Structure 1
Amino acid sequence: MEDVSGKDLTQFKRWYSQAGTPTVYADGKYDEKAKTYTLTLRQETKPTPNQPEKLPFVIPLGIGLIGKDGKDMPLQLQGEKEPQGTSRVIVLDKASDTFTFVNVAEQPVLSGNRDFTAPIHFVMDYTDAERLHQARFDSDLFNRWDAFQQYGVEQILNMVKAIQDGKEPILPEAYFDVWESYLTDKSLDKGFVARAITLPQENYLADQMDVVDVDAIHKARYIVKQAVAKRFEKLLRAVYDENNTKADYTPSPAESARRALKNMALSFLGDLGTNNELVEKQYAEANNMTDKLAAMNIASNSKNPKREAIMDAFYQTYKNEKAAVNKWIFTSACADRPDAVNVVRKLLTHPAFNIKNPNNVRALMGGFAYNQTEFHKLDGSGYDFAVEMAYKMDDMNPQMAAHMVKPLTRWKRFDAKRQEMMKKALEKVLEKKNLSKNVYELVTKSLAA
């Protein structure tokens, strides 16, 4: 490459010799009088074993500036005679650098690392208004998705705080405005819309909290889903009907996107409890596993009277397909229901489950650990089950036993009561005779931390 390009790639080779993922911090300043936008970039890579100091990487960064009308603005760097398009790549090869764009008619919103031009963490302190503008107009669909997800996460966490303080959790009207724009804009890619309206998962929300409150997170997310489903029930039904074709199944990207959007719309409709027949009809008439699996997942998390019948029908249909069975086990274990611990215990004796099959065990315990409110239930029953499974697995598969224990090792992230129960559960694991080295090291390190 050096011979052909005539460029010295010594610095670029740091991508191969330096460990770690760089974080690029961005700060933009607009000068209304001079009509300039000054972008300051700073890169930082955390120390890793044997590499306490990191030298700057060569980071190609795709960027765009979004105007008030939602369109990309022309990009002309200081010293250039004319704009170089509306989306371009700038190169950060120093610890920090500044780029000044001229002839910028108005205050823009920066869209950074477009097209994922560099494998980095991109960080900028966006205001809510800027995130909303990106969510509505960014031509880079990943950045558009990310802006709305981050805005949504912030609002849900605000609702969590309100719940903890005994106040009414409120969702801003601006959140609904973006939602409506996604459901009504027919020019948008269906796959993008399906992703954009997917709510942040509870485990991701938990990762954003210093002290995890699984119950408040679950309640806040439920309120959001109900609020969206109720307000846009007619629109969601229209989206569902529009994409619910009777055509033969094809695995094309366009058809996959259509199914994804249809099933995401159904997940909100199914959550209302007034569209049970629609969920049941999709399951009964679906000509592909994607649609059947979606209907089963929706039924499993609802109070649909035919929930158990749908779950059993899926198992009976696909019981000879190992991957489908594992999906069924996972769905059963992570279902939003107050008796989840009893459900997973019953699965241990179900014909579908073989404790000597690591994939079965991974599906069962992975699904249950994903079920935040039930795994972390205040009566401690979820922790007790994890310990029991660790005991059973340790003699036959120590690595899998370590997976059973791992969720408990995050005890410091939780409230005082759960911390105490999780530590006792870990101590109970240590009482097992002939405990494997894998599990022993994991537990002792966690308790000593």
Structure 2
Amino acid sequence: MSQHVAKLRSDYRAPAYVIDTVELEFHLHDSATRVLNTMHIRRVSEQPLQLNGEHVQLVNLWLDGHLLQPHEYQLSANLLQLQNLPEQFVLSVETVINPSENSALEGLYKSAGAFCTQCEAEGFRRISYYLDRPDVLAVFTTTIYADAKQFPYLLSNGNLIEQRHLDDGRAMAIWHDPHPKPAYLFALVAGDFDRIDDVFVTQSGRTVQLQIYVDHGNAERAHYAMQSLKRAMRWDEQRFGYEYDLDIYMIVAVDFFNMGAMENKGLNIFNSKYVLADAKTATDQDFINVESVIGHEYFHNWTGNRITCRDWFQLSLKEGLTVFRDQEFSADMSSPAVHRIQAIKVIRSHQFNEDASPMAHPIRPDKVVEMNNFYTVTVYNKGAEVIRMQHCLLGEQGFMRGMRAYTERHDGQAVTCEDFIRAMEQANDRDLSQFRRWYSQAGTPHVQVEQQATATGFTLTFTQQTPATPGQTDKQPQHIPVLLSAYDANGELLPLYSDALVRHESASYLFELRERQQTITITCREQRPVLALFENFSAPVKLEYQQHEADLLVLLAHAKQPVTRWEAAQRLYTELLLEALQHNTAPQLSDAAVSALQQLCGADIDPALRALALVPPSPEELAEHCSGLIPVEQIAVVSRQLRDSIAYAIAAPCAQLYVRYRQAQYQLSAEAIAARSLSNLALYYLSAAAPNDAATWQRVMRHYQQADNLTDQYAALQTAVHLQLPIAAQLLTEFAEQWQQQPLVMDKWFAVQAQVPAAETVERVEQLLQHPLFTLANPNRVYALLATFGRNLVSFHRQDGAGYRIFTAAIKQLNSSNPQVAARLITPLTQWQRFSNERQQLLRQLLTELRQLPNLAADLEEKINASLN
């Protein structure tokens, strides 16, 4: 019988007690850290005080200086309760915790010899008994004691007040954060690190100290992160007017971390993969990710810290908004189109997949068993798309008016998604009542469009429908912004006239779809123009619109908006693949399509955009277009056939691109990154066109050996391994020998083998689980091998179920050691209803087996029950 009770958003009640100040005192010890937590509390209603606590040992409890006896309070496994309390009082709680045995990596734990914390969402209760909820904001002062030699750096939130050495060989540091914050933003780090320093002068002239702490020997790899931080700070001032508010900003990089990073006030703790980057040990994508995540966590200072969530159901209030902000930042730092395409790909693959799963949920969920399960692409990435739709509807100036109103009204508060959208409404005198459904309604809307000619132009009929999701069968029509443009057959942009259309600042036309079915009449000199619909992915919907290949080729060649050109290529590929699946034939590129792709190779557009447009949907992306059971084997076949057809079609221009965009010397710039992306794609297609040719193997080997950066080296390795060239084994051996001392690089070595879309990948993964460098204790290594394998549609879903059994065995181990990682891993198993009957039976059997585990973690139980019930 389940011991885990669901929490409902509708049950929210304001806290019965308020904590004004907290004084924390830590005496750090590997297995017996002592924590003294002194809280100044006010009672606001006649209810008992209930403090959360997990895996902590209560030692002493004082009320206004009086030592309480056990009969004066009630203590259970996860709760400390006191009654008959005065209106104001001081409560001191002394606990002992064991950081060394904290394999869940929540609360206070050890990472490679250093103490560090992770308190979001509900980790502070693993440190001390507390009102561990985001709407309780207090001013924290933290004092840390630790061995001075082992832990020369003692860090916490806010500004450093005092630090000194004691006579007993210990050191002491006191930190004070003047900004009230919830406990989930508390942070502590104690360790021996390398440190790099810099300063930032804010727009008002204040000097902020910047510090990044990394493991010894990694300082040189942290300079890009520091420059990214300074760019983010300046950008946030210029774009949003947000200035940093403490005297110091610190980042600490650790290897053992469940998440990407954490925005604790003034002391951000990062997974090292989002801090460490240089040309030798990081790819171009790594550099892009570092800049994005550094920016994301910094931007939380205002959208997450200064204004935080009232309750965890409002998580997208801070995460969706901050993802939007980091996407805008990344776009401004390099190519807006390329970054937009990457965001779209995440939605169309991972988020649409989540919407089709048993764990489908709105960006503001209504029910939660384990909050860690809702740090999802829906809350983060779809949440960002919901913010972007508001930006689309209101325009840049209107959106910024709303942001200013939101900040001015709610600075220092814990608020809701409703507060955000209300600020947007009132600042712009707009009614967004229907738009609110994006917050409460799960699932991906399907929008069907029919085009009919008229005497003066044409009509468009839009029909929207959102499929049923768990707990939501009756879906109401959404408020959907549709950006569109029209072209003639020669690619000339056409003016459109309609009362339903307004000229948008993006240069497209904006139509606001509100009804289940809506027809608009448009005057245009062409009766059947070539339409670009939902430009720039103006809403996270699935578009159903029949469009001839000739029209798609016009858009591919002439569309004014770069994302529209990429969209045209993707639709062209997708239609070919779906037709091949339907008729059980090989996808056939027409002569016109071949010519268009050859011309695209030499088009005068961003090389990175060309590279993206030349890549068809992956098998995983194609699966999201399948309305019935996913035909795994057929998808594998047609995907490979289309890849080979493209390779043969553009082999000659790829030979020219490979030479033209190869760089004599490594540079890190947007232009250089774009050039490498196209040259490395050219290498892949040249190899796919002639995989059995010795000249191909020599080219790939030469590319690998001559690389002066990891991007090129890894591209050669990927090409050899994914195409299963005879040199693959040699390159894998050389790569491992070269990088075995660099964990983040070795993660790529594990991942590249788990990505191969071949049946034998299952056995390879099984072998890699026994590799001396693999460990389930390191989340990065688990994600690199197992999570990557779980996203490999072709191999993971092999007919005999061997891939499923590998996953199940790993999840059983992680259930007791790190249930948060286990819950992230289990997702591919829960989508059993989308596959063949044989696979369904096996997946149900394995999920039932997992559900019967003793001490099944809440994280796993929630997902398994949602899948099986």
* Common fold by TM > 0.5: yes
1:6, distance to aligned residue in structure 2 (A): 11
Q: Report the equivalent of 2:610.
A: 193
Q: Does 1:10 align with 2:440?
A: no
Q: In the alignment, which of 207, 211, 215 is matched to residue 624 of structure 2?
A: 207
1:40, distance to aligned residue in structure 2 (A): 4.7
| Aligned partners of 1:402 and 1:442 also within 8 Å | yes
Aligned partners of 2:499 and 2:815: how far apart in 1?
64
For the residue of structure 1 that corresponds to 2:817, the secondary structure is coil
Aligned partners of 2:506 and 2:493: how far apart in 1?
6
| Aligned partners of 1:211 and 1:415 also within 8 Å | yes
Q: Report the equivalent of 2:546.
A: 126
Q: Does 1:442 align with 2:859?
A: no
Q: TM-score, normalised by structure 1?
A: 0.85
| Aligned partners of 1:65 and 1:108 also within 8 Å | yes
1:357, distance to aligned residue in structure 2 (A): 0.5
Q: Does 1:358 align with 2:775?
A: no
Q: Report the equivalent of 2:494.
A: 73
* AA matched with 1:92: E
Q: Report the equivalent of 2:706.
A: 285
* AA matched with 1:261: L
Aligned partners of 1:115 and 1:67: how far apart in 2?
20
For the residue of structure 1 that corresponds to 2:453, the secondary structure is strand
Q: Report the equivalent of 1:255.
A: 672
Counterparts of residues 16-415 of structure 1 (less than 5 Å)? 19=439, 26-31=449-454, 34-40=455-461, 57=479, 61-77=482-498, 87-92=507-512, 95=515, 99-115=520-536, 118-121=538-541, 123=543, 125-129=545-549, 130-163=551-584, 168-173=585-590, 174-185=592-603, 187-209=604-626, 210-246=628-664, 248-271=665-688, 272-273=690-691, 274=693, 275-415=696-836
Aligned partners of 2:705 and 2:794: how far apart in 1?
31
1:330, distance to aligned residue in structure 2 (A): 1.1
* AA matched with 1:176: V
For the residue of structure 1 that corresponds to 2:826, the secondary structure is helix
Q: Which moved more, 1:289-298 or 1:402-411?
A: 402-411
Aligned partners of 2:572 and 2:458: how far apart in 1?
24
Identity of aligned pairs, percent?
A: 23
| Aligned partners of 1:132 and 1:147 also within 8 Å | yes
Aligned partners of 2:450 and 2:464: how far apart in 1?
12
Aligned partners of 2:625 and 2:518: how far apart in 1?
30
* AA matched with 2:431: Q
- Which one has a larger percent helix, Structure 1 or Structure 2? 1
- Deviations, residues 158-206 of structure 1 (Å, cap 9, x unaligned): 223333xxxx424141432332221233x13211110011121111112
Aligned partners of 1:78 and 1:442: how far apart in 2?
47
1:365, distance to aligned residue in structure 2 (A): 0.8
Q: Report the equivalent of 2:147.
A: none
Aligned partners of 1:79 and 1:55: how far apart in 2?
18
Aligned partners of 2:860 and 2:446: how far apart in 1?
34
Q: Which moved more, 1:373-382 or 1:125-134?
A: 125-134
- Deviations, residues 16-40 of structure 1 (Å, cap 9, x unaligned): 6851587765443332xx3323345
Aligned partners of 1:383 and 1:26: how far apart in 2?
39
For the residue of structure 2 that corresponds to 1:29, the secondary structure is strand
Q: Which moved more, 1:154-163 or 1:87-96?
A: 87-96
Aligned partners of 1:69 and 1:397: how far apart in 2?
58
- Deviations, residues 244-277 of structure 1 (Å, cap 9, x unaligned): 121x222222211111111111112222312111
Aligned partners of 2:513 and 2:758: how far apart in 1?
52
Aligned partners of 2:806 and 2:466: how far apart in 1?
40
Structure 2 CA distance for partners of 1:415 and 1:119, relative to 1, 3 Å: closer
Aligned partners of 1:421 and 1:11: how far apart in 2?
50
- Deviations, residues 292-345 of structure 1 (Å, cap 9, x unaligned): 111111111123222122122223333333332222211122224443222222
Aligned partners of 1:56 and 1:270: how far apart in 2?
46
Structure 2 CA distance for partners of 1:12 and 1:86, relative to 1, 3 Å: closer
Q: Which consecutive unaligned segments of at least 5 residues does structure 1 have? A: none
1:119, distance to aligned residue in structure 2 (A): 4.0
1:15, distance to aligned residue in structure 2 (A): 5.0
For the residue of structure 1 that corresponds to 2:772, the secondary structure is coil
Aligned partners of 1:50 and 1:84: how far apart in 2?
34
Structure 2 CA distance for partners of 1:92 and 1:351, relative to 1, 3 Å: same
- Which one has a larger percent strand, Structure 1 or Structure 2? 2
Q: Which has the larger radius of gyration?
A: 2
Structure 2 CA distance for partners of 1:162 and 1:287, relative to 1, 3 Å: same
- Aligned pair count reads 435
Q: Which consecutive unaligned segments of at least 5 residues does structure 2 have? A: 1-400, 406-424
For the residue of structure 2 that corresponds to 1:127, the secondary structure is coil
| Aligned partners of 2:581 and 2:635 also within 8 Å | yes
Aligned partners of 2:593 and 2:736: how far apart in 1?
38
Aligned partners of 1:406 and 1:51: how far apart in 2?
22
| Aligned partners of 1:30 and 1:38 also within 8 Å | yes
* AA matched with 1:405: I
1:393, distance to aligned residue in structure 2 (A): 1.4
Aligned partners of 1:399 and 1:312: how far apart in 2?
33
* AA matched with 2:819: P
1:217, distance to aligned residue in structure 2 (A): 0.8
